[in-house]
Amino acid sequence: MQGTVDSTPVVTGHELATHEEHQDLRLLGLITFLCSEFLMFAGFFAVFLVFWGSKAEWPPKETEVELLLPAVNTFILVSSSLVINLGTKAIKNNDLAGLRKWFGITAAMGAVFLVGQVYEYMNLGYGLKTNLFSNCFYLMTGFHGAHVFIGLMLILGVLWRSRRANHYNDITHTGPEMAEIYWHFVDIVWIVLFTLIYLLTLI
Amino acid sequence: MAQADISVAPVVAQGGHNHPDKWKWYDYFTFNVDHKVIGIQYLVTSFLFYLVGGFMAVLMRTELATPDSDFLTPELYNAFLTNHGTIMIFLWIVPAAIGGFGNYLIPLMIGARDMAFPKLNAIAFWLNPPAGALLVVSFFVGGGAQAGWTSYPPLSEITANLPQTLWCLALVLVGTSSILGSVNFLVTIWKMRVPSMAWDEMPLFCWAMVATAILALFATPVLAAALILLVFDINFGTSFFKPDAGGNVVVYQHLFWFYSHPAVYLMILPIFGIMSEVIPVHARKPIFGYKAIAYSSMTICLVGLFVWVHHMFTSGTAPWMRIFFTISTLIVAVPTGVKIFSWVATLWGGKIRYTTAMLFAVGLLSMFVFGGLSGVTLGAAPFDIHVHDTYYVVGHFHYVLFGGSVFGIYAGIYHWFPKMTGRMLNEPLGKVHFVLTFIGTILTFTPMHSLGIQGMPRRVAMYDPQFTDLNQLVTVGSYILAVSVIPFYINVIWSWMAGKEAGPNPWNAMTMEWTTASPPIIENWEVLPVLTHGPYDYGFEPKEAATGEEALVPK
């Protein structure tokens, strides 16, 4: 602080003028936001764990989860994270067609995941209100599903905008990158969720 | 990234030039992305809600002037109690201290033209008025939420369901606003300082805002989780917090306090920042212990995340938790003490100017020491168990929130009003305001400690007649506080229209916001300033001339 006067570089106004338009900070902002968003899920995870720790039977007999469909769903969602990465890699090489192809595939995989989720809900034989476990189950997977839906909308938004000439290219591609990061976030949350609800409850 | 910069630059460069030279009054009622407009929007909105919350407090104190319930119905009393707390925290102190001062000052202090995400910033502000509207509406659709600002289940799940739901939604809105604002603060301070400004050359207010933003980012979403579960319990038949269906009410308390204890630091850290700006300027001395103050903010931020159970010592908490959280709570007193002593050491031997801003800052110092010490007593489980849910707690947190946060907001207003409006506040009127506030605060909140130790429970509209005398004293004090805002609001309105011209740097301060015009031009500077000295180098000659502005040279 006080002693740093000497080291201050002399910068004239003209040089500073180039600094005025700061770099694109949107990715950083999104990551900061997602750190915060993750803590909301962490709150749900904590509630789930506390209930688990205090109950003799978790999940209770009549509300057990099935494993096969969610496992397939997990495979689809995790792979889609790799696919979307191919999309942003493509646009970084100025390959718009590649971006649209891979983002299209990711969107389809996301949609399949959501459909699978709804199918699972309809075939479980118990609902949100059945018991404490089903409360947690539907709330957590439901909130995650809502986030998948938002991510899907972001991807479709990128696809929609990609119709404009030169909207995305090897220099400006923050939009696809943000969609990708959000999609990874959704994926990471799901991995924790899947482990908690489906895998660890098997033990 | 570097490539992107160059290509984007011509498109956005001087992008602000499609705006007028000066904002008109009606621009302040629109979705404006200028951080200074947003700062003023936050401040004016929060000062309006301050009156609403204060009005509720006065009505409650009038009820409590007698032991019987003879002025408000008990339900209305409960609704006022709930909404007084909610409004004062979420629509007054938080938006004023973080949204108002933070948005207005951060870009000016670090030499940026705006926040990193101006549109996001405007969105964050505009989430606040609907939240306030929801709380007001909740009074007309079922008498307002009545479960206290903590809204513990099962009470919150069995009383006034619709207003309680609206209350939850209002809090989710302000919580979202807080998160979006924090993303903005963190990225702005991190990435948008003028190139010549290192981390430890930032004004201390910026450090305080970094700590505040981190806390808000980590704690607020957990509150959102708790409120979502509560809304599901109330409206959709789940049983997270219903013990008869296997749920657990203490889980709510944990989630709630995981946010709401850090919320205490959200309300005081920016104020600490304001203190660190106001005191050196008006004492004409370099701040004592810059690094100690900066890092103690970060320490409070870190430790503050691990103390929440001290609100729950009587919730069947396990003994090891009581021990752990007593210790962690007492540890928070250390960085706070570091700050207090640093400010006192800054005052020591300074050429103190008793401006109203300085009076409020010094007033805060004494009030906060008192409130902080009663906080230490409450942090110790053995004592807390005796006074839990009594007026002792009410006295304690009003000392830190009113004597601390509100005094700090006042100090900040008296200090930066000239920068924000270009006009000076009236000093004699300000001193009347200070004296009334100081006396009112002591008279209102000191007897509460005594009442609490004698066993008067909080959150009651009726009480045992043996407590009457002290309660009447408190009520008189609250009336003085109510009167104390009158000179302030008159002062602000009158000075804004016809006050003395301030000039760019009326206090001869050295931080960067004083190097531009008052009020600052729309993009803050014609040419961005260059840092030639530290923020508090009073008494040091700058070694290089600044950008020609004499204001930078200390007298």
Cβ-nearest to B251 among A10, A47, A55: A47
Say whether residue B7 is in contact with chain A using an 8 A CB cutoff: yes
Residue A62 above 90 pLDDT? no
Q: B541 in contact with A at a CB cutoff of 8 Å?
A: no
Which residues are within 8 A (CB) of B384 and not within 5 positions of it... i.e. 6 or more apart? Answer: B310, B313, B314, B377, B378
Q: Which two tokens stand for residue B407?
A: 């005094």
Phi–psi pair at B489, nearest 5 degrees:
-65, -40
C-alpha A146/C-alpha A168 separation (Å) is: 27
Tell me which residue in B3, B217, B527 faces A35 most closely, judged by beta carbons: B217
Number of Cβ atoms within 10 Å of the Cβ of B317 = 20
- Assess whether pLDDT exceeds 50 at residue B197: yes
Task: Tell me the average pLDDT across B166-171.
Answer: 97
Which residues lie across from B423 on neighbouring strands?
A: B501
The Cβ of residue A66 has, within 10 Å, a number of other Cβ atoms equal to 12
The whole-number pLDDT of residue A24 equals: 85
Q: Which of A1, A32, A131 sits opposite B290 (nearest CB)?
A: A1
CA distance, residue A142 to nearest chain B CA (Å): 12
Which residue in chain B has the smallest CA separation from A128? B238
Q: Is the model's pLDDT at B116 over the cut of 50?
A: yes
CA distance A159 to A98: 11
The Cα–Cα gap between A39 and A31 comes to: 13
Percent of chain B whose pLDDT exceeds 90: 87
Give how far B183 is from chain A: nearest CA, Å.
6
Q: Does the structure show a pLDDT above 50 at B545? A: no
* A22 pLDDT tier (thresholds 50, 70, 90): low
The alpha carbon of B239 is separated from its chain's Cα centroid by a whole number of angstroms, namely 34
pLDDT at A100: 95
Residue B298 structure tokens: 């970060």
Distance CA B430, CA B438 (A): 12
Average pLDDT for residues B410-426, to the nearest whole number? 96
Q: Is B545 on the interface with A (CB under 8 A)?
A: no
Predicted local confidence at residue A21, as pLDDT: 60
pLDDT at B480: 97
Q: How far is CA B431 from CA B355, B362, B401, B414, B422, in A?
A: 8, 13, 21, 11, 20
Using one digit for the tens of pLDDT, what is the confidence trace for B8-23? 333 333 444 456 778 8
What pLDDT, on a 0 to 100 scale, did the predictor assign at position A201?
A: 85
Give the closest-approach CA distance of A27 to chain B in angstroms. Answer: 10
Which residues fall within 8 angstroms of residue B348, CB to CB, at 6 or more apart? B288
- Asked if B226 has any chain A CB less than 8 Å from its own CB, the reply is yes
Predicted local confidence at residue B18, as pLDDT: 59
Beta-carbon contacts of B274 under 8 Å, excluding residues fewer than 6 positions away, are B97, B101, B205, B361, B408, B409, B411, B412, B415
Residue A165 has pLDDT above 90, yes or no: no
In three-state form (DSSP H/G/I as H, E/B as E, the rest C), the secondary structure along B420-478 is HHCECCCHHHHHHHHHHHHHHHHHHHHHHHHHHHHCCECCCCCCCHHHHHHHHHHHHHH
Interface size between A and B, measured as CB pairs under 8 A: 180
Q: What secondary structure letter does DSSP report for B317?
A: -
CA dihedral (B296, B299, B305, B311) positive or negative: negative
DSSP state for residue A2 in the 8-state scheme: G
Q: Determine the Cα angle at B207 with ends B205 and B208, to 5°.
A: 65
Which tokens hold the place of B134? 């929801």
Band of residue B555 on the pLDDT scale cut at 50, 70, 90: very low
For the residues A153-170, what does the mean pLDDT come to? Answer: 93
Q: Nearest by CB to B528, from A16, A35, A132: name it.
A: A16
Average pLDDT on B82-87 reads 96
Phi–psi pair at B545, nearest 5 degrees? -70, 150
- CB B379, CB B330: distance < 8 Å: yes
Tell if the CB–CB gap between A21 and B240 is shorter than 8 Å. Answer: no
Q: In angstroms, rounded to a whole number, what is the distance separating the alpha carbons of residues A172 and A29?
A: 17
Q: In whole angstroms, give the CA distance from residue B185 to residue B216.
A: 11
Reference B504, options B514, B489, B513; nearest CA is B514
DSSP state of B521: B
- Check residue B141 and give its pLDDT: 93
Q: How far is CA B311 from the centre of its chain?
A: 20
Query: Tens of pLDDT along B16-60?
Result: 445 677 888 888 999 999 999 999 999 999 999 999 999 999 999
Interface test with B, best of A7, A10, A16, A177 (most B CBs within 10 A): A16
Question: CA angle at residue B34 from A177 to B488, to 5 degrees?
Answer: 135
Range B226-230 average pLDDT: 96
* Per-residue confidence (pLDDT) for residue A15, from 0 to 100: 38
Q: Do B195 and A9 touch (CB under 8 A)?
A: yes
Q: What is the mean pLDDT of chain B?
A: 91
pLDDT of residue B57: 97
How remote is the C-alpha of A57 from its chain's centroid? 31
Quick check: B288 pLDDT over 70? yes
Instruction: Using the predicted structure, report yes or no on whether residue A6 has a pLDDT greater than 50.
Output: no
Chain B, residues 258-287, CB within 8 A of chain A, namely 258, 286
Q: Is B198 on the interface with A (CB under 8 A)?
A: yes
ipTM of the complex: 0.89
- Binary contact (A54, B240; C-beta < 8 A): no
pLDDT of residue B546: 46
Contact B318/A at CB under 8 A: no
Q: Which residue has tokens 């809502």?
A: A146
Going by pLDDT thresholds of 50, 70 and 90, the confidence category of residue B540 is confident
pTM of structure: 0.91
